[in-house]
Amino acid sequence: MTTPVVNRSDIETAAARIAPRLRRTPLLSVPRSEFDQSATGDTADTADTAEGTVTLKLEYLQHSGTFKARGATNFVLGNDISPAGVTAASGGNHGAAVAWAAQQLGHRATIFVPTISAPAKVDRLRSYGAEVVQVGKVYAEALEACVEHEAATGATAIHAYEAPDVFAGAGTTGREFEAQVAAEGLPPLDDLLVACGGGGLVGGIATWFGPDTGIVACETNRTSAYASALDAGRPIDVTVTGVAADALGATRIGTLAFDALRQAGALSVLVDDRPVVEARRWLWDSFRIVVEHSAAVPVAALLSGAWRPGPGRHTGIVVCGANTSPTDLA
């Protein structure tokens, strides 16, 4: 196991750097009993679920629609940027964050996205003034094109989850969550459920909390980069598809994330696509929250019973992104 490249001190530095430009996204705490009736209509074992609290961090209210504005802003503020501007490959959300940060700080942005990226995400990229290039069926193919563009133009590349500054910026989500829980007089978080694609968000959060908090990386069965890496003992390539693939479509867990998750003892939970679709609709029906499928994956883990915290535990969920269209909620 390698020494972590990013530590809590890096996350503290990132938090101080980006605080003037980023939103402090709110929390929503509800009794665990509100999750007892699953999205499929099945009643969970009340002995396991009757007690406790679930606190949602509404990070989808962040600039650019996702947590990724944190890492992109930290990178752009903390590095010398080429006259050719910045470039990134993305399923859509990282690209939107890079485009937003570049616009705010006066840089050009060229973003490469796969053809599976949701139209809402592509539209948001263009709204920030970015040049958008759609290429390849999956993130890995868009990344290859981005690397070629970097070599040809000298643009500053910003990787979605392997750049330490991006990773540390994502970790500020966990730092902020912990501080808000304490400020609101809630008990400390026992378990924290976080969606996992390339692993930047859950890895950054795991770096902040360490092994004293139960970190649960939530994926779908068809976007299972972390689960597959755990089985193999190292990051490996996987095939990605399904409803959450546009955001959780990394074909391999990042090395920064994998090391951080293993050191924190993070667990892996997998859910099928159907519970994700139902959890997304449940968030709308219950709280009038509209998010993308990837953000509903940790909620699906809890609603479906794929993850069951013990009685009385305080469960946190990061609701990470909302770059979607509400027209398909039905």
pLDDT band at 38 (very low <50, low <70, confident <90, very high): low
Statement: residue 21 has pLDDT above 60:
yes
Give the distance, in angstroms, between the CA of residue 189 and the centroid of all CA atoms in the same chain. Answer: 18
What mean pLDDT value characterizes the chain? Answer: 92
Q: Which of 115-129, 141-155, 178-192, 193-207 is predicted with the least confidence, judged by mean pLDDT?
A: 115-129
pLDDT score of 49:
46
What DSSP state is assigned to residue 48? Answer: H
Block residue for tokens 């643009």 = 155
**Whole-model pTM?**
0.92
Statement: residue 235 has pLDDT above 50:
yes
CATH topology of domain 8-65+164-328: Rossmann fold (3.40.50)
Q: What is the dihedral of CA 30, 33, 39, 41, to 10 degrees?
A: -160
pLDDT band at 90 (very low <50, low <70, confident <90, very high): confident
In the sheet with 191-195, reading across from the earlier edge strand, the strands are 27-31, 53-57, 314-318, 191-195, 214-220, 267-271
CB contact at 8 A, 157 and 282: no
Statement: residue 181 has pLDDT above 50:
yes
pLDDT band at 39 (very low <50, low <70, confident <90, very high): very low
- Which sequence spans correspond to the domains of the chain? 8-65+164-328, 68-157
Q: Higher confidence at residue 136 or residue 92?
A: 136
Quick one: tokens of 180? 């808000």
pLDDT score of 37:
57
Mean pLDDT value of segment 292-316: 95
pLDDT score of 45:
47
Mean pLDDT value of segment 207-233: 97
Integer Cα distance of 291 and 293 in angstroms: 7
pLDDT score of 47:
43
- Give, in degrees to the nearest 5, the angle at Cα 86 between 253 and 243: 40
Mean pLDDT value of segment 78-85: 96
pLDDT score of 255:
96
Integer Cα distance of 195 and 191 in angstroms: 13
pLDDT score of 81:
97
Q: What percent of the chain has pLDDT over 70?
A: 94
Statement: residue 78 has pLDDT above 60:
yes
Mean pLDDT value of segment 143-158: 96
Q: What percent of the chain has pLDDT over 90?
A: 79
Statement: residue 330 has pLDDT above 90:
no
pLDDT score of 23:
97
- Domain 68-157 in CATH 3.40.50.1100? The answer is yes
pLDDT score of 91:
77
Integer Cα distance of 301 and 194 in angstroms: 10
Same fold, 8-65+164-328 and 68-157: yes
pLDDT score of 41:
46
Helix and strand numbers, DSSP H then E, in the chain: 13, 10
The DSSP string of 208-265 is HHGGGSEEEEEEETTB-HHHHHHHHTS-------STTHHHH--SS--HHHHHHHHHHT
Statement: residue 99 has pLDDT above 70:
yes
Statement: residue 73 has pLDDT above 60:
yes
For the stretch 111-150, pLDDT in tens is: 999 888 878 788 889 999 999 999 998 888 998 999 999 9
Q: Higher confidence at residue 38 or residue 107?
A: 107
Q: Which of 115-119, 163-167, 200-204, 282-286 is predicted with the least confidence, judged by mean pLDDT?
A: 115-119
